[in-house]
Amino acid sequence: MICKTRLIAGLSLLVGAVAACSSPSEPTTTAETTETAPRVLTLYSSRHYDSDKELYAMFEAETDARLEVREAGASQLLETMRAEGDQSPADIILAADAGSLWRFKDAGLTQALPSETLESLIPANYRAADGHWYGVARRMRGIAYDPTRWSAEDLATWPTLAMEDKAGEICVRSSSNIYNLSLMGELIHRLGAEAAQAWATAVVGNMARNPQGGDTDQIRAIAAGECSIAITNHYYWVRLSTSNSDADQQVAASTAFLFPEFSEGSGSHVNITGAAVTATADDLALAEEFLTYLLSETGQTYLTRETKELPLIDGAPLPEGVDALPALSPSDTALDIYGENQAEAQRLFDLAGWN
């Protein structure tokens, strides 16, 4: 931190001017920073929602700490931190996937944050046992389907997608998408690599078209009649149903959503947005304060209001539209599995011919 402020202060006039006009949204100028030296928390986030920025601003207002945020892909942030080494300004990593958090931990970039507050707030399977990361919101991978074509029983488990009656009916995005990889990670964990590959191969055989576009495009394809089953995260479906556009609302209305299990009673695939404290962070109290804030009612509301994720804390207000989702019985798989199995998942997808 000190190093960085000294560096900024030492900048030439030109860059000083540039830096000042580059971040006009932040009321504090660099000069003031050096004088009053407020506490600074640097966030490396792979999320990029406008509502997150509002949340950060509220945290700053409440705590007089200042947040610096770098948003980029998780892999890029990871390489950046590796390159920065000891000098990394990062204090908190915010990632929209448990597998990514595992990667940071695996690379030795995180540290344990023992916190009774956080442990009491967060159910055990949504945080690392050793305190290296904590979940803050939930995101589920599920299935949107054409209710005139299928009943919920037909699609009750993921293996049902591999059955022959689904031939030419499935729409899904490409395999390198992190949500597909995490889902495959849990399938590998539960079924074994061989069976998981066989499942992927069968699903590829049942696809209505080559994997393409994003999750929303898959749901729209159902409405357009190109397929009747779309693998998608729940919030894309919720966003369509709460969209300003009538066309979008009609798309959501013509489809139904469900959370398949792996086998009957296994529970459904859950992913998280989570936070980890970096190995280079020194103000752990501030880090804990920030994480606790994310789990407060305000934090949960702002994290999920725009994204339509599910709050992690029971009793936190639900974002508009998620009440249309069916009841959820989450799987109790330890989420570290997603990260551990990620490369294997991609390899099996490649072999299965899932683009």
Partner 1 sequence: MPRFTPSLSAIPPSLIIGLVGLPVCIALYAGLVGGDGATWDHILQNRLMPYTLTTLLTLFIAAVIMLGLAVPAAWIVTQYEFPGRNVFSWALILPLAMPGYVMAYAWADLMGVSGPLQSQIRDVTGLSARDYWFPNLFSTPGLAFVLASTLFPYVYITARAAFSMQTRATLEAARSLGASPLDLFWRVALPVALPAILGGLCLALMEAAADYGAADFLGVQTLGVGIVRSWTSFGEPNTAARLALMLVCIAFVFLIVARLYQGKSGVQQTSTRWLTPERSALSPSMAWLATLLCATILLLCFVAPIARLMWLAVETEARTTDLLPLLRSTLLLGLFGTALALCAALVFTLAAKRSRALRMGTRLIAAAGYAAPGAVLGLGALFFLRETGQPLAGIVAVALLVWVYVSRFTSAGVEPMQATLDRLPKNLDLAAQSLGSRGLRQFWQVDLPLILPGALAAGLILFVEILKELPATLMLRPFGWDTLAVKAHAYATDERLAQATLPSLMIVLAGLFPVLLLSWRLNQGERK
Binding to partner 1 (CB under 8 A) within 250-269 occurs at 251
User: CA 310 to CA 135: how far, in whole Å?
Assistant: 11
Helices (DSSP H) in 23-49: which residue ranges?
30-36
Q: Which two tokens stand for residue 210?
A: 């080559």
- By CB under 8 A, the count of residues binding partner 1 is 76
Give just the sign of the alpha carbon dihedral 313, 315, 319, 324: positive
x-marked contacts with partner 1 along 232-251 as a string, rule CB under 8 A: ----x------xxx--x--x
Q: Which among 17-25, 55-63, 138-146, 151-159 is the span making contact with partner 1, rule CB under 8 A?
A: 17-25
Q: Are 353 and 117 in contact (CB under 8 A)?
A: no
* Closer to partner 1 by Cβ: residue 122 or 223: 223
Name the DSSP class of 318. Answer: P
* Closer to partner 1 by Cβ: residue 89 or 299: 89
- The DSSP line for 234-270 is HHHHHHHHT-S-HHHHHHHHT-EEE--BSSTTS-B-E
Question: Is residue 21 at the binding interface for partner 1, with CB under 8 A as the rule?
Answer: yes
* Closer to partner 1 by Cβ: residue 118 or 277: 277
Among 83, 165, 264, 265, binds partner 1 (CB under 8 A): 83
Q: How far is the CB of 116 from partner 1 (least distance, A)?
A: 32
Question: Is residue 346 at the binding interface for partner 1, with CB under 8 A as the rule?
Answer: yes
Question: Is residue 148 at the binding interface for partner 1, with CB under 8 A as the rule?
Answer: no
Question: Is residue 53 at the binding interface for partner 1, with CB under 8 A as the rule?
Answer: yes
Q: How far is the CB of 88 from partner 1 (least distance, A)?
A: 6
Q: How far is the CB of 253 from partner 1 (least distance, A)?
A: 14
What count of other Cβ atoms lies within 10 Å of the Cβ of residue 18? Answer: 11
Among 60, 146, 154, 226, binds partner 1 (CB under 8 A): 226
Give just the sign of the alpha carbon dihedral 201, 205, 210, 216: negative
Q: Are 340 and 181 in contact (CB under 8 A)?
A: no
Question: Is residue 19 at the binding interface for partner 1, with CB under 8 A as the rule?
Answer: yes
Question: Is residue 69 at the binding interface for partner 1, with CB under 8 A as the rule?
Answer: yes
C-alpha distances (whole Å) from 58 to each of 10, 72, 301 are 30, 22, 12
Q: How far is the CB of 259 from partner 1 (least distance, A)?
A: 20
Q: Are 66 and 43 in contact (CB under 8 A)?
A: no
Question: Is residue 103 at the binding interface for partner 1, with CB under 8 A as the rule?
Answer: yes
Q: Are 132 and 95 in contact (CB under 8 A)?
A: no
Among 75, 117, 151, 263, binds partner 1 (CB under 8 A): 75
Q: Are 102 and 340 in contact (CB under 8 A)?
A: yes
Q: Which among 56-64, 167-175, 263-271, 282-290 is the span making contact with partner 1, rule CB under 8 A?
A: 167-175
* Closer to partner 1 by Cβ: residue 104 or 134: 104
Q: How far is the CB of 203 from partner 1 (least distance, A)?
A: 15
Q: Which two tokens stand for residue 147?
A: 């209710």
Provide the b/e sequence for 23-32 (b: ≥16 CB within 10 Å).
eeeeeeeeee
Query: Which residues, 206 to 225, sit near partner 1 by CB under 8 A?
Result: 208-217, 220-221, 223-225
Query: Which residues, 287 to 316, sit near partner 1 by CB under 8 A?
Result: none
* Closer to partner 1 by Cβ: residue 72 or 286: 72
First and final C-alpha spacing in the chain: 43
* Closer to partner 1 by Cβ: residue 70 or 190: 70
Q: How far is the CB of 110 from partner 1 (least distance, A)?
A: 15
Question: Is residue 116 at the binding interface for partner 1, with CB under 8 A as the rule?
Answer: no
Question: Is residue 173 at the binding interface for partner 1, with CB under 8 A as the rule?
Answer: yes
Q: Are 71 and 50 in contact (CB under 8 A)?
A: no
